[in-house]
């Protein structure tokens, strides 16, 4: 074992868990945050148009997704796993907001309610 492995093991960056499990958890976190942020962005859009029923369901669904995603972060065993989950969350939220602004908002702005 060289110095780098010793340092990483000492600080909790190397795990006994396989990397596939951590990677799958990060991908699932990305997908949950993508859908959650997409729904949250739509919830903000629904507030501007007073779609009260839509606000209720989108708010309930998005908060449920954030609650489930929080369990992944607090259940993680090491700093490396937390870092992977953090990156998945950040990318999911960024992509979800961008998709909502670029694709869905122009679609709903053309509709007349």
Question: How many separate domains does the chain show?
Answer: 1
Place 113 in a pLDDT band, splitting at 50, 70 and 90: low
- Domain residues for the domain of 35 are 20-110
Length of the chain: 113
- Please, what is the Cα angle at 85 between 80 and 91, to 5 degrees? 125
Residue 14 belongs to some domain of the structure: no
For residue range 90-109, what is the model confidence (pLDDT) as tens digits?
999 999 888 888 887 677 66
Angle between helical axes of 52-75 and 79-99 (0-180°, round to 10): 160
Contacts of residue 11, Cβ cutoff 8 Å, sequence gap at least 6: 79
Residue 78 belongs to some domain of the structure: yes
Residue 3 belongs to some domain of the structure: no
**Exposed, middle or buried, 110 (CB in 10 Å: 0-12/13-18/19+)?**
exposed
For residue range 37-84, what is the model confidence (pLDDT) as tens digits?
888 887 877 777 778 888 888 888 988 888 888 888 888 888 888 888
Distance CA 45, CA 107 (A): 12
Query: Is it the case that residue 16 has pLDDT exceeding 70?
Result: no
For residue range 18-27, what is the model confidence (pLDDT) as tens digits?
678 888 888 9
């Amino acid at each position: 074992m060289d110095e780098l492995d010793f340092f990483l093991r000492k600080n909790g960056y190397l795990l006994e868990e396989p990397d596939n499990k951590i990677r799958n958890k990060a991908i699932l976190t990305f997908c949950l945050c993508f859908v959650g942020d997409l729904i949250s962005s739509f919830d903000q859009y629904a507030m501007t148009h007073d779609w009260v029923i839509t606000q209720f369901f989108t708010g309930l669904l998005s908060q449920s997704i954030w609650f489930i995603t929080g369990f992944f972060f607090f259940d993680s065993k090491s700093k490396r796993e937390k870092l992977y989950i953090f990156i998945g969350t950040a990318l999911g939220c960024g992509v979800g907001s961008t998709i909502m602004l670029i694709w869905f908002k122009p679609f709903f702005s053309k509709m007349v309610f």
